[in-house]
Structure 1
Amino acid sequence: MIKFGSAGRGAAMVAAARVDPATARGGSDPQGDRVEVFAWATDDDPDKAAEKAAVDSLEEAFTEACPGQEFVNPVIAGGGQSDPKQALHPRLRENDPPDSFQVHPGAELMDYIDAGQLADLNDQFAQWGLSEVLPKGLLDAITVNGKIYTVPVGIHRLMLWSNREVLATAGLANQPATLGEFIHDLDALKASGVEHPLALGADWTQLELLEGVLLAELGPERFESLWTAKADWSGSDITGALDDYKKLLSYSNPDRDNLHWTDAAKRLSGGGAGYLFMGDWVVGELERDGLRDYSYQPFPGTGETFQWLGDSFVLPKNAPNAAGANSWLKTVGSVEGQKAFNTRKGSIPARTDANPADYPPYQQAAIADFKQLRLVPSCAHGSACTQAVAAAVISALGSFSSTGDIADLQAAIAAGVATYGDLRS
């Protein structure tokens, strides 16, 4: 197993060991020392400030590890596109790929794999020892037909966040352990004068909430089976879970369909809500909004699982600078590269051999849970679902938010999953 040694780079980063691109697996280098990497966070997207800082820090680690290699994100470097994915897709279709690009590890990879756009990374994983330091659930999620397709750099977790002051005013001192207890606490908050105690936004934030209910009521095996083309969405257990999801919507803010996730977070931090279900990237938003007295827990009833999503980078087929791309990916997979990225983003390393002392208390707790709990992927963020399935479910939830028709929601989700789900799962 390869682990980079430590070296100082000041307060901003910890340097990774040097990687010689000439010794990395890959072909010719027609564009010299320029390594073109499509990363999602751009300068004109304030909602991704933490992600931009994380990629910048990872870039610094790469530059230190690979002297002479120049990192270039074409979207940030004058590309004129605010959405890197929109700029990426035509290039992949035209066989003009960058050297690497960012993806969600998991089912989202299938779109690129089915299109024949990704090179497998089995040799690199063996050379770098990555298979030995990634948990089985994550390794399984990035492996298709025995081939590994991406290098995970960071992991996020979906959690239930609460404003402790708002809860205390309602006399709530204990965290809810079940969905029934959660609904009881929401009722207590309403009785204390909090009109809409569950903060909620639009689109994928509603899918996150649905996932929490489904996982709590159906368990991890049944939950994971729901997102393939062969899934059965007709059962009474599904209907019951959707009915409970509808019940939770009744505690949320009526303007949810027009609310960005950052605005939903502001409802919690400002005291207008007691709870918010969101990925742990919300920590930075809560603290920027001045909320320090908050608590967190898994969605009630899911405490034995770790519902995850992540960030990772891939090697496209026919990457112009394959040697430089492999140097980049080696940095992405290294202890020091993951430390540089995750200490800035608020996520945790994908590697299980990271030093918890390098991270603040929440991340230390998440690192411990990541090692010991059952990993369950998220549909809302590409680890459980293809992009098309997630889009279909989000669309169905958007309609349901207005109509409240459970039968229509159940049928619409079933149709979307059957049409766009992966048949091989």
Structure 2
Amino acid sequence: MRVTRRTTAAVATAVALIMTLAACGGTPGEAAAPSVRNHTNVSVYTWWAAGVEKTGLDALVTVFEEQHPDIEFKNDSVTGGGGSAAKDNLQSRLENQNPPDTFLVHAGAELDDYIKGGYVQDVSGLYKKFGLTDVFPKDLIRQLSTDDGKIYSVPSNIHRANMMWANPKVLQDNGIDPSAEYDSIDAFIADLDKLEQAGVTPLSVGTTWTQVHLLETVLLGTLGPDAYSGLWDGTTDWTSLEVTTALQNFKTLMSYTNADRSNLDWPEATQMVIDGDAAFNIMGDWAVSAFDEAEMKLGTDYVAVPAPGTAGTFDFLADSFTMSANILDPENTEAWLETVSSVEGQVTFNKIKGSIPARTDIDRDEFTEYQRMAIKSFDEDTIVSSLAHGAAVPVSRLNAITEATNDFVGDNGHQDVATFQAALAATTN
């Protein structure tokens, strides 16, 4: 990938503008507000504003302050479900040459537009400096690297997208195997039908982005990891019969979901399983926090298994931090990235967030039963990139896929597989 470089004069102008704006004050998180950067702090932009994400960030900041007591952490963030509002705000700031020192991004193809815009710096040198090439899995390094071998972010964690959560009591009460393990989507559909006939909501889902999340797991469960990955690198034909089958499966699964889905986000959809109002929910492993907060025990009160047809595959995404281009004090940002990637930082943060460290040199016994399962899977299974969470495609293409999905299954969706398939194929152009 080729990054456009600004001229020296433009850089000087941008830095001068940022310093002038910073002197004027402002409220972090407002699009027109100046960054809170100066020579003694690091401004960090995330959408971690509530729940375990905020608690995890606070704990990570505590580690940072212990490791780098001379640098003040500045929370330069906005709120936003799934990061959508935060990303729009961030894009405005970047275009107006008012970047935070570092910002949260999903590792992988989501970075492409930032790289092409010249908004982020290559941090490959820090991987060598911090010894990360020795402690991050080779598959992860490959997923993080661009075609020319550069890396533009440092992951704070690893999440698994292809997880299904189930209420074993609801399943058992309706004559269904409470292990909730399905080798195929066809077998899963058969049990969804049983539940619907019994008057139980078979599968809970939320608003559009959660439906795109469901779509990616159905594509993966129907096509398998190689053909699924081919959708993003161009080796799988979107117009093929196997993709048609996957989209028909998606349509069928959506027919078994709750009617109020457009009014819910993922926590409410997950809560339906916790409360026994739905049997299944397919969501990333950040959902484990909801079960933990409800004081439910894995294997007894709830079940966590790979989504139907996806056993042996780890659908990966990672919350990562960049180093913005043209910033005042790159060494302060380097210090933040050092903490994010350190053993103490990764253990502290992930024990709270429910995800797993990117590092392999950690003590697995410090983590929960679910996290130990995820660490084992990440070590052993085939790794693929998440569609809905920025690893597989750039933001612009994800937006197009999201729009097509909403047209297909939204409140006014036309439910036509052929049209949906054509719209998805058009996103590759």
Under a length normalisation based on structure 2, what TM-score does the superposition of the two structures give?
A: 0.84
> How far apart are residue 291 of structure 1 and its match?
4.8
Is the 2:312–2:382 Cα contact (8 Å) retained in structure 1? Answer: yes
Q: How many residues align?
A: 380
1:88 alignment counterpart: 90
1:206 to 186, 204, 211: 211
Q: What do the CA deviations read for 1:304-354 (whole angstroms, capped 9, x no partner)? A: 111111101011111211111101101111111101111111110011222
Q: What do the CA deviations read for 1:15-57 (whole angstroms, capped 9, x no partner)? A: xxxxxxxxxxxxxxx9221111112112xxxxx4111111111
> How far apart are residue 409 of structure 1 and its match?
0.5
Q: What do the CA deviations read for 1:104-162 (whole angstroms, capped 9, x no partner)? A: 00110101011111111121111111012112222112211111111011111120110
Q: What's the secondary structure of 2:156's corresponding residue?
A: strand
Q: What do the CA deviations read for 1:244-268 (whole angstroms, capped 9, x no partner)? A: 1111111111222232222211221
Give the Cα separation in 1 of the matches to 2:86 and 2:182: 40
Q: What's the secondary structure of 2:374's corresponding residue?
A: helix
2:418 alignment counterpart: 407
1:105 to 100, 104, 107: 107
Give the Cα separation in 1 of the matches to 2:132 and 2:58: 23
Give the Cα separation in 2 of the matches to 1:357 and 1:384: 31
> What is the Cα-based RMSD across aligned positions, in Å?
2.0
Is the 1:98–1:320 Cα contact (8 Å) retained in structure 2? Answer: no
Q: How does 1:190-205 map to 2 (within 5 A)?
A: 190-194=196-200, 196-205=201-210
1:125 counterpart letter in structure 2: Y
1:169 alignment counterpart: 173
Give the Cα separation in 2 of the matches to 1:319 and 1:67: 21
Q: What's the secondary structure of 2:310's corresponding residue?
A: coil
Give the Cα separation in 2 of the matches to 1:393 and 1:259: 20
Q: How does 1:171-250 map to 2 (within 5 A)?
A: 171-173=175-177, 174=179, 175-194=181-200, 196-228=201-233, 232-250=237-255
Is the 2:228–2:236 Cα contact (8 Å) retained in structure 1? Answer: no
2:42 counterpart letter in structure 1: V
1:148 alignment counterpart: 151
1:34 alignment counterpart: 41
Q: What do the CA deviations read for 1:204-257 (whole angstroms, capped 9, x no partner)? A: 111111111111121112111212577631111111111111111111112222
In structure 2, the gaps of 5 or more residues are 1-36
Give the Cα separation in 2 of the matches to 1:291 and 1:252: 24
Q: What do the CA deviations read for 1:368-399 (whole angstroms, capped 9, x no partner)? A: 11111111111100011111111111111111
Q: What's the secondary structure of 1:376's corresponding residue?
A: strand
Q: What's the secondary structure of 1:147's corresponding residue?
A: coil
Does 1:272 pair with 2:277? yes
Under a length normalisation based on structure 1, what TM-score does the superposition of the two structures give?
A: 0.85
Is the 1:97–1:320 Cα contact (8 Å) retained in structure 2? Answer: no
Give the Cα separation in 2 of the matches to 1:76 and 1:370: 31
Greater RCO (Cα-Cα under 8 Å, separation 6 or more): 1
Give the Cα separation in 2 of the matches to 1:379 and 1:76: 24
Aligned in 2, Cα 1:384/1:70: closer, same or farther, shift over 3 Å?
Answer: same
Q: How does 1:26-425 map to 2 (within 5 A)?
A: 31-42=38-49, 48-75=50-77, 83-144=85-146, 145-158=148-161, 159-173=163-177, 174=179, 175-194=181-200, 196-228=201-233, 232-289=237-294, 291-292=296-297, 293-401=301-409, 402-418=413-429
Is the 1:161–1:294 Cα contact (8 Å) retained in structure 2? Answer: yes
In structure 1, the gaps of 5 or more residues are 1-29, 43-47, 419-425
